[in-house]
Amino acid sequence: MSTFSEDYRSTRKYMQPGTRRLASHSKKKVAYFHDEGVGNYHYGERHPMKPHRLTLTNHLVLKYGLHEKMEIFQPRRATDSEIRNFHSEDYVDFLKKVTPDNADEYENLFQRFNVGDDCPIFDGIYDFCQRYAGATIEASRKYFPRVLYIDIDIHHGDGVQEAFYSTDRVMTVSLHKYNGDFFPATGHIDEIGSSLGKYYSVNVPLRDGIDDDAYVWLFKEVIDAVIGTYQPSAIVLQCGADSLGCDRLGCFNLSIRAHGRCVQLVKNFNIPLLVVGGGGYTVRNVARCWTYETSVLVDTELSENLPPNEYRDFFKPDYKLHPDLKGRVENQNDRTYLLKVRERVMEQLRYLDAAPSIQMQEIPPDIQGFLDGEEEQRDAEEDSEIGKDTRSFRRKSIIHENEWYSDEDDNDDSDDGWNGMNIDDDD
């Protein structure tokens, strides 16, 4: 039985899916960012995050034939200077030099740079960072005046919130477990932003064991209200799979279908959408979840029976796309609590009387210069012979379908990873 009936639904009127956004004649395109080899990294035997989950996901996507419905891209690696645009030079130099073998020599910097434990030193760490940063940069080439970031990872989206805490150009919404102690111990409902960003950080703290009906109801209530108020130009949706039931580190009771329902609800608004990954520590369910959500994004029904693939043993004994993940943890989110959380969010949004104008906050000079420089470079390329080569290189960054392996033997020795929809390992 549903936790909520129509009697408890908000009577406020918000923008409904499809009333604004891409023109009806616009052709919807789905791009799949796939970084070959990203699943080969290993954080250490005792670390719960397993990049191999990206490989499992990619193989399921291929075996279901979902790649045939998407444009496939190989993201480039970020340069040192690009990484230094956001991170300090000392931090970048540290990542370039440190290895598991010489880690003792840099131990005095561990606390300063917050490495160790959940952020371990592993072989190829800087190369790994270049891959992920490069994919992020490739995903942010087009400028949008207002961006909404939504996080359904079980852990609070603390890093993104901190990065945009004092700006109104990015609004963050995080649904997560919060009790003051659960990692990263941030995400209280009173964390609402500061300065120009005051009220633009929305936190939805949840208790253990939330189920499908309650989660999807609250998600829809909050996201409908946020989108109707903020009217974003683009949305970034972080789909951490540790909010699924039976996750090694999680404590919710969400099914894969409910998790995917959140993706569908956001997709229905027809706003330019970037879907990325996040946490997820039961690798077989991460792969199932992200494959299913890829199918949601390309409007394709998938068979409940997983297709034959070289990683089939990971999915035994049932070999199903939607295993039963509910009932592990008692639901401590009663109706009274969830209604209170919803009302607090609505109260916060009332301070944003109308959608902010496009000229909310001046674009930082360094970003504006970067954007202007990109445009000038492209203009120059169009007028020069060298432009022919550059445009040719850009076209080659698209991986054509005939470059994908077509049978099980073609990929025996490779370990293709997944940056699907730019899915990554960030919590």
Closest CA to 148 of 167, 133, 131: 167
Beta-carbon-side half-sphere exposure of residue 195 (alpha carbons within 13 Å): 8
Known binding residue 67? Answer is no
Residues 293 and 260 sit within 8 Å (Cβ to Cβ): yes
DSSP letter (8 states) at residue 116: B
pLDDT for 156 equals: 97
- Do 304 and 322 contact (CB within 8 A), yes or no? yes
Q: Identify the top-confidence range among 10-14, 58-62, 172-176, 248-252.
A: 172-176
Helix, strand, coil tally for the chain in percent (to 5): 40, 10, 50
The response to whether 242 counts as a known ligand-binding position is yes
3-state secondary structure of 147: strand
Contact at 8 Å (CB) between 195 and 166? yes
This prediction's pTM: 0.75
Does residue 311 surpass a pLDDT of 80? yes
111-147 pLDDT, tens digit per residue, is: 898 887 777 778 888 988 898 899 888 877 888 999 9
For the chain, the residue count is: 427
Q: How far apart are CA 81 and CA 70, in angstroms?
A: 31
Q: Residue 390 pLDDT more than 80?
A: no
Predicted local confidence at residue 8, as pLDDT:
33
Query: How much is the average pLDDT of 50-65?
Result: 83
> What pLDDT digit, counting tens, does each position of 225-272 carry?
999 999 999 999 999 999 999 998 889 999 999 999 999 999 999 999
pLDDT for residue 5: 32
Contact 240, 278 (CB under 8 A): yes
Share of the chain above pLDDT 90, in %: 52
pLDDT digits (tens, 9 = 90+) for 269-288: 999 999 999 988 889 999 99
Please write the tens of the pLDDT for every residue from 74-110.
Answer: 889 999 999 999 899 999 999 999 898 898 898 888 8
Give the CA distances from residue 307 to residues 63, 287, 303, in Å, rounded to whole numbers and listed in that order: 6, 13, 8
Who contacts 347 (Cβ-Cβ below 8 Å, separation ≥6)? none
Work out the average pLDDT over 201-218: 98
Q: Which CATH class is domain 55-65+143-350?
A: alpha beta
The answer to the question of whether 413 is labelled as a binding residue is no
